[in-house]
Structure 1
Amino acid sequence: MRIPPLGGARRRDGLCDRPRRGGAGASRRPRRRHGAELNARTDPRLAPDGAARIGAIVLVGGRARRLGGIAKPLLVLAGASLLARTVTALAGAGAAPVVAVGPRLDDSEVVWVREDPPFGGPVAALAAAFARDELANTEWLLLLAGDLVRPEAVVAGLCGSLPAAEGLAEASEAIVFRADGHPQWLAGIYRATAVRAALATLGDPAAASCRALLGGLAIRWIEDQDGITADVDTPADLHRARADRTRADRAAAENEETS
């Protein structure tokens, strides 16, 4: 799968610069999509009755020890925080509701919930999200890390791989990216009933890994050949992401000048 290169506004220096107000690359309030705008027979985001089929869980509660304990989802790339970029990507894909698990970081239009215990790990975060009534009727769930560099590409790749409504009976239980042979559990879309069943038989979620919870599902893999599942774990990761954005902006500007 080839994903278009990055584009957008100039990078900002500093770990947590405040996002710009307005202008290219700034975070905008997501536009709400209504079922009447979508075709329930062909759009994989909708159930046959026109109800939303896809919700999302975004994990934002890590300790970020290698970044000095900073809230990684609030790191700024191209004028918007990583969390804002993720919420915007999910809104553009018609995913609703969106549950963010971790300490409340900003005023994003999401459902905030805290894992038990705090910093209990991704499976504890999943268990906390699934306990919310908002996800009770959701058929598929996007599961994303809150520090993805290119959430729009990840969401587009996953939603684009989801089967149309007519083919649900033959669908896998999950569609997950794999990078260099390693499963990217927090860059996947999962059938909600399958994850609920796995949680019910797991035991203590705080002591479990994503592989223990999700590895037994029937998974269709997407090979990440373009590095779109990259996240930010270290200052070097952030520097690389901003440098990549700068190069992409420069290339886009040059192409525009020559076109």
Structure 2
Amino acid sequence: MNDVSAPPESRPGPPPYDAVVLAGGAARRFGADKLATLVDGVPMLDRVLASVAGAQRRVVVGPERETAAEVVWTREDPPGSGPANAVVAGLRACAAPYAVLLAGDLPYVDAATVARLLEALVADPTADGVMLVDDDGRDQHLCSAWRRAALERAVAARPDWGGAAVRRLIAPLSTTTLAAQGREARDIDRPEDLTSSS
């Protein structure tokens, strides 16, 4: 029988988490609804959602689309008011002690990526969050795992996050990074990004 009284950090396996996938944006450089684009025969958004199949709840922030996954849809208020506001909207639908934040245009992220992020977070009790860093040394704020309570403290720091970047929202938090492996941190902005070398 599972010991449900034990804290998440002491239980075997990944800790209980919800996933927030940002799926808004105009995709002007892509020229179409890029999240519906097939990557190895699977829509990009479905690939991202498959990486968090172990989440207690998968929350997608953006206009509703067809998807094979069971998800909770929500929108930032007002729609189009920026990625930090989208994270805020997604968090409102979360209840698990951990939250994974993903951009909807990361088709090469997978369950192993998510597991590494969560494992690193649980292993470091001083960290509020863990994010991937790509080959160019850029922190991937939307490929990250967080203690939900820490994110909510950051959200409470100001009444309106409209127009703000995610990096501003998480700036006060204690974070660590993991080096990306292969293509997992590659986001897709243009069609040619899907055919360029890894």
What TM-score does the superposition give when structure 1 sets the normalisation length? 0.67
Give the structure 2 partner of residue 100 of structure 1.
60
CA–CA separation in structure 1 for the residues paired with 2:65 and 2:113: 22
Distance apart, 1:150 and its partner CA:
1.0
Matched, 1:145 2:103: yes
CA–CA separation in structure 1 for the residues paired with 2:37 and 2:115: 22
Distance apart, 1:171 and its partner CA:
4.1
- The CA deviation string for residues 174-196 of structure 1, in whole angstroms up to 9 with x for no partner, is 01111222110000001111111
CA–CA separation in structure 2 for the residues paired with 1:129 and 1:100: 7
- Given candidates 40, 64, 67, the residue that maps to 1:78 is 40
Structure 2 contact 106–185 (Cα < 8 Å) conserved: yes
Matched, 1:174 2:129: yes
CA–CA separation in structure 2 for the residues paired with 1:58 and 1:89: 11
AA at the equivalent of 1:155? V
- DSSP-derived class of the 2:60 partner: strand
Distance apart, 1:157 and its partner CA:
2.7
Unaligned ranges ≥5, structure 2: none
- The CA deviation string for residues 50-99 of structure 1, in whole angstroms up to 9 with x for no partner, is xxx2110000001100011x2222111111111111222211xx212110
Give the structure 2 partner of residue 157 of structure 1.
116
Give the structure 2 partner of residue 112 of structure 1.
73
Give the structure 1 partner of residue 24 of structure 2.
61
- DSSP-derived class of the 1:194 partner: helix
Structure 2 contact 19–101 (Cα < 8 Å) conserved: yes
CA–CA separation in structure 2 for the residues paired with 1:154 and 1:193: 22
Structure 2 contact 121–127 (Cα < 8 Å) conserved: no
Give the structure 1 partner of residue 14 of structure 2.
45
CA–CA separation in structure 1 for the residues paired with 2:165 and 2:115: 26
AA at the equivalent of 1:130? L
* Number of equivalences: 190
CA–CA separation in structure 1 for the residues paired with 2:90 and 2:181: 30
AA at the equivalent of 1:117? P
CA–CA separation in structure 2 for the residues paired with 1:90 and 1:110: 11
Instruction: List structure 1 runs of 4+ shifted beyond 6 angstroms.
Output: none
- Given candidates 65, 83, 97, the residue that maps to 1:122 is 83
Quote the RMSD (CA, aligned, Å).
2.2
Structure showing the higher helix proportion among its residues? 1
AA at the equivalent of 2:28? R
Structure showing the higher strand proportion among its residues? 2
Distance apart, 1:225 and its partner CA:
5.1
Give the structure 2 partner of residue 250 of structure 1.
none
- DSSP-derived class of the 2:139 partner: strand
Give the structure 1 partner of residue 188 of structure 2.
232
Alignment of 1:236-255 (within 5 A): 236-240=192-196
Identity of aligned residues (%): 34
- The CA deviation string for residues 145-174 of structure 1, in whole angstroms up to 9 with x for no partner, is 00102120432331342326xx7xx24100
- The CA deviation string for residues 86-123 of structure 1, in whole angstroms up to 9 with x for no partner, is 222211xx212110000001143100001111121111
